[in-house]
Structures are given as structure tokens and as C-alpha cells.
Structure 1
Amino acid sequence: TLLYGVEVKFYSSKVKVGNNFETAVANLYTIGDGAGITRGLMQASVTGVIVARDILNRKV
């Protein structure tokens, strides 16, 4: 017997961020699983690197 049904998964809310993971609040970044974008160690690590590079390249 096969049973087919609709499946919907709601994991977590996603925070709206720009390409550099900065939120609408200046200098506030959300990265990793906390941003609701990634689901793994590698992807979370990459978001941290992206944010670190963005902060280091900012002109003060």
C-alpha cells in the first residue's frame, strides 16, 4: 500500500539580510543557523567568513 500526502516543514523564521548578512539594523549581522538560512556546519562557517571579510573591508 502506498500513501501519498502533502508535507510542509516550518523550520525557523528567516531574518531579512543583505548579501553580506547585515540586517536592517546597522552593524548587526546574523550568521549561521541563527539567520535561518543555513542548515549545516560548513554553510554556517562560510557565512562567518563572509561577515568577517565585510567588516575588515569597511572604510571607517
Structure 2
Amino acid sequence: MKHDEHLHTLTGAYALDALTGEEQRAFAAHLRRCEACLGVVVVSWAHSMSGLIAPIVA
């Protein structure tokens, strides 16, 4: 399968659940092969979750 550089630009939109169904499926498949994008998504999710958890802990 040809590597699609465009998919690398979708990490933020994926983390925010802002992709269309087709984009989401393509990017999810891409994440299984691309550790760099997976890392960006995990950090984005962790950052967004920290804002939800901090008020509960404080």
C-alpha cells in the first residue's frame, strides 16, 4: 500500500473526533502502521484528559 503523507496532517482532527467517516477509517488504519502519528494522538488525548481530571483531583 502506498504511504499517504496527507494522513500525517490528520492527527489533530482524529484526536478531536473531527474526521469524516471515510477519513476516520483511513486514519485508524494508518495508526496501526505509523508510530509517529500514534504518539501524537496519544499525547493529544492525554493532554485533553488532563483538563478533565485536574478539577476532580484538586
Taking structure 1 as the reference length, the TM-score comes to: 0.36
The structure with the largest alpha-carbon Rg is 1
Q: Give the number of the structure whose residues are more often helix, by fraction.
A: 2
Which protein, 1 or 2, shows the higher relative CO under an 8 Å CA cutoff with sep ≥ 6? 2
